[in-house]
């Protein structure tokens, strides 16, 4: 498995999220898939339901959930709790609704804010891959 450098991978995930219409969860998986990790298309498709905190319910950050799914797929499920705990320590919540409460969810400002979660989780994943 050959990955491009971490900075470039994070940049690509951010662009997929902000400019190409992918959700945070899709952006995490797509960036990894397109840059060296053999992730089946079915996994990318399966995370589409995570959009907006699991089907619009605001329950969990999709970038976090996609990262946990990738870890499990890559036989690194033992780090799932660590990914969760690091995210929660950094942002004080894992709940999409709580994390984005001060924004209009459809605003560009909120999307820019959430891009930080995509970047953070990509950084964490690059450290374990």
Residue with tokens 């690194």: 76
How confident is the model over 79-99, as a mean pLDDT? 96
pTM for the model stands at 0.91
User: Could you report the per-residue pLDDT of 32-63, keeping only the tens digit for each?
Assistant: 998 888 899 999 988 888 877 677 777 899 99
Domain ranges of the chain: 6-128
How confident is the model over 14-39, as a mean pLDDT? 93
What is the C-alpha separation between 78 and 56, in angstroms, rounded? 28
CB 47 within 8 A of CB 26: yes
How confident is the model over 8-22, as a mean pLDDT? 94
Instruction: List all residues 6 or more positions away from 69 whose beta carbon is below 8 Å from its beta carbon.
Output: 29, 43, 46, 47
3-state helix, strand, coil in the chain (%, to 5): 65, 0, 35
How confident is the model over 79-89, as a mean pLDDT? 96
């Amino acid at each position: 498995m050959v990955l491009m450098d971490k900075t470039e991978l994070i940049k690509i995930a951010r662009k997929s999220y902000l400019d190409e219409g992918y959700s945070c969860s899709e952006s995490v998986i797509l960036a990894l898939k397109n840059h060296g990790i053999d992730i089946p298309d079915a996994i990318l498709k399966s995370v589409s339901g995570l959009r907006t905190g699991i089907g619009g319910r605001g329950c969990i950050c999709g970038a976090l959930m996609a990262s946990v799914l990738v870890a499990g797929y890559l036989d690194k499920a033992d780090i799932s709790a660590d990914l969760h705990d690091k995210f929660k320590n950094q942002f004080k919540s894992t709940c999409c609704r709580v994390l984005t409460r001060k924004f209009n969810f459809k605003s560009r400002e909120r999307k820019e804010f959430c891009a930080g979660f995509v970047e953070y989780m990509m950084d964490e994943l690059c450290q374990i891959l």
